[in-house]
Chains A and B, each alone.
Chain A
Amino acid sequence: MTPSADRLGRLLNLVPYLLARPGIRLADAAADLGVSERQIREDLELLWMCGLPGYGPGDLIDMAFDEDSVTITYDAGIGRPLRLTPDEAVALDVALRLLAELPGSMDRGVVHRTLAKIEKVAHSGPAIAVGMPEQPERAEQLRGAFERGRALRITYYTARRDAVTERTVDPLRLLMADGRTYLEAWCRLASAVRLFRADRIDELTELDEQADPPSWAVPAERGTKAFQLTPELPLITLLIQRPARWVAEYYPCESVEPQPNGDWLVRMRAGDLAWARRLLLGLGGHVTALGPPELVSSIGEAARQALAVYEAEPALSARPE
C-alpha cells in the first residue's frame, strides 16, 4: 500500500475511533493506535481542514481540545469506520477458527460467538473451515503446566533413534506447526534447547520446582516449519519409486529429477544418517539410497543382519508342537 493510502486509511479510522472515546488523552490514543503523539496531532490538523462541500465553519470536521485530550464534535459523515475488506475478513475469520481449535487456549464458546459476530459484519460465510484434531488432552495438559511455569519430567519417544528417555525439561514455549503441537524446552539431559512433539510425550509429571532455563536458552527462529534444515546437515541422494513419491512431497527436498522409468532422483537434507537409515528401511523397499556410501552400506548391513535372524529363527507355525 502506498504511504498516502496508508495515511488516508488511518485518517478514516481516526475520526470514528475518537468519536467512540470522547475526551481521550492524545498520548493514550497514540499509544493505542501505535503512532506517535506528534503524528496524531498532524492528522487532526489535516482533518480540521476537511468537511462537507461548502467548507464553511459548520461544514468542517470539528473537535474540542481540552489540554491534552480531544473530543470530536462534528464528523462530517465519516463517523463510522470502513467495512472490512474481503482480505481482512478472511484473515480474522481463519485466525478465529484456528483459535477455536487450539488446545485449551480459550473458551471455545467465546471464540465461536465472536466468529459469528465478525462474520455478520463482514458478510463472510462459512466458506472456510479449520480442523486440527490431534491429541487435545496432552496439549492441554502441556499448556496448563507451561502457564504455571513449572519444570516437567517427561518420558519421551525419539523416533529418530527409536529410543525412550526420561528427561527433566524447562519449558520455553509451546508451538503449533504443520498441524502438530510441540513443546520447546531446555533439556537438562541434553543441556540444549530441544523440540518435543506432544504426541511423543508418553508421560508427563509437573514438578514442584519452577522452570529455570539458562538465560541464553532461547527458542529457535523457525518460520512456519517445526524443523529448519540447514546446509551443514548431511545431503542424501535417493531413488524413489512411484509408490513412495509422497516422501518427496512430505520432506523438503533440495532437488527432484524425474527419471525416464518414472523413478525420481531426489536430494535432500537429513537430520542425521541414522534417521535416514530408519526412514528408508521402513519404506517397503520402494526407495533406494545412492549416497552417501555410509548410508548405503548401513541400510544393506541392517537388512542383511535382519535376514540372518529370520534364517536362524523358524516361524512359529513351522515349529513342531
Chain B
Amino acid sequence: MSRTRTERLVNLVICLLSTRRFLTAAQIAQTVPGYEHDPSLPKDHEAFQRKFERDKAELRMLGVPLETGTSSVFDAEPGYRIAQRDYALPEVELEPDEAAAVGIAAKLWRDAGLAAAASSGLVKLRAAGIDVDPHATLGIEPQMSVEPAFDPVTAAVRERRIINFDYQVPAEDAPRTRRLQPWGAVCWRGRWYVVGHDLDRRAARCFRLSRVVGKVRAAGEPGAFSVPEGVDLIDHVARFSTASPVERTGRATVRLLPGRANGIRRRADRLEGDVATLAYSDPEHLAELLAGYGPDLVVLDPPEVRDAVVKVLTNLACAHTVRSEVVA
C-alpha cells in the first residue's frame, strides 16, 4: 500500500508541475497511475474521490502549493496545478562558513517541533546542493525553547491577522482579553514576547507569551494591517522589560559584618574595609535589598533608608513568629 501510494503521489506532483492548464479530478484520474476506476459505478467513484482528497491533504501538509482554478469559462468544475515558481526553493548559494552556521543553528532547538522543522529545512538546503558538515558543533549549548503561544502568534504575524488572547498580569486577579495587531515576536533574555498595536489601548504594546492564558485566537481576514516602517521590535521589548534608568542621587552608608554581606560588597559603589557606600534612587527599594541580609549589615545613614529597613524587618519579625513561641 505504502509503496504504491507514494509512487502515485510522486507521479501526481510531477503531473501537476508539468501542466499549465488546470486539470480536473477526472482528467487526473485518467492520467496518473493509481487512480484508475470506473466513474459510472458510484461506489468506485466515491472511493476514488476519498483517495484523491486524502492525497491532496497529504501534499498540502508537506507544503506543496496546490493551486485550484479553471482554465477557461467553459470548465464546469475547478481543476488543479502546481506552479513551478511556488513549488521550488529559489536558488541559494552559501559559502562554506555560512553553510556551517546554518548547520549549527539547526541544532540549537530543544523543542521537538521546532527541532524537526529546522532539520527538515536543512535537508531542503542540502537538496539544493549546499554541503553542511553534520558534525560541526558549538562549544556552547543554548537551550532554546518556546511557549505554546509561539506558533499561533508567528502565524498571525506572517498572515498579518489580528489576534485575541487572554493575558494574565501577576498584579491583576483575572486575565483580560487583549486585541492586538501583531508586528513580530521577540526573544529577549531568554523570554518570548509579542509586539504589536493594542487595539484597545490604541498604542504599541508588548506581551510576554508565558502570560498568555489559553489559546491565541486569530480574528478577521489576513492582511488586515501593515507593520509601521522602521519598527524596532527589540527596542520595544527592552524598554518594556527594563525599568527606565533613573538617576541614583542618594548615597547610603552601610556597615557590614566582617566576611558577610558579600552580595553588597560586590555591588557597592565604594568599599572601605567593612563600610560600603551604595548609590540609590528609591529608599524603599534599597531597603528591600538590604533587609535581605538580615543581621549581616546595619544601615548607618541616611535615616530614610535606615527607617525603611527597620520597617521591613519589623514586619518580617511580626509575621514570622512561630506559634509555639507565643503560647510559651
Contact = CB atoms under 8 A, between A and B. Distances in A.
Interface of A: 1-5, 7-9, 11-14, 16-17, 20-21, 32-33, 46-47, 49-53, 55, 76-78, 80-92, 94-99, 102-103, 105-107, 110-111, 113-114, 117-118, 120-121, 124, 126-134, 139, 143, 146-147, 157, 159, 162-164, 173-181, 202, 222-226, 242-243, 245-246, 248-249, 258, 262, 278-285, 288-289, 293, 296-297, 299-300, 302-310, 313, 315-318
B17 A8 contact: no
The 5 closest A-B pairs by CB, nearest first: A282-B292, A179-B190, A88-B121, A20-B129, A179-B189
Contact of B102 (A12, A114, A132): A114
10 contacts: A33-B126, A81-B128, A88-B120, A117-B93, A129-B233, A131-B234, A163-B262, A224-B145, A249-B211, A315-B301
B46 interface: no
B316 A131 contact: no
B204 interface: no
> Interface residue tally of chain B, by bracket?
35 or more
Interface in B229-262: 233-234, 237-238, 253, 255, 260-262
B101 A114 contact: yes
A50 B10 contact: yes
| Residue of B95, B141, B238 with most chain A CB atoms under a 10 A cut-off | B141
Contact of A224 (B64, B110, B227, B233): B110
B118 A82 contact: no
Contacts of A305: 294-295
A80 B130 CA distance: 12
Contacts of B315: 285
B312 A284 contact: yes
Contacts of B157: 127-128
Interface of B is mostly: helix
Given A81-B89, A315-B303, A174 B141 contact: yes
B56 to A, nearest CB: 12
A271 to B, nearest CB: 16
A30 to B, nearest CB: 13
Contacts of B3: 46
B143 A223 contact: yes
A98 B13 CA distance: 36
B306 interface: yes
Contacts of B141: 173-176
| Residue of B143, B238, B325 with most chain A CB atoms under a 10 A cut-off | B143
A32 B317 contact: no
Interface of B: 2-3, 5-7, 9-11, 13-15, 17-18, 31-33, 58, 61-65, 84, 86-90, 92-95, 97-98, 101-102, 104-106, 108-110, 113-115, 117-118, 120-129, 134, 138-145, 151, 154-155, 157-158, 170-171, 173, 183-191, 210-211, 227, 233-234, 237-238, 253, 255, 260-263, 265-266, 284, 287-289, 291-296, 298-303, 306, 309-317, 319-322, 325
A96 B102 contact: yes
Contacts of B98: 110, 113-114, 117
B139 to A, nearest CB: 5
A317 B302 contact: yes
A187 to B, nearest CB: 18
Contact of B316 (A110, A146, A242, A285): A285
B210 to A, nearest CB: 8
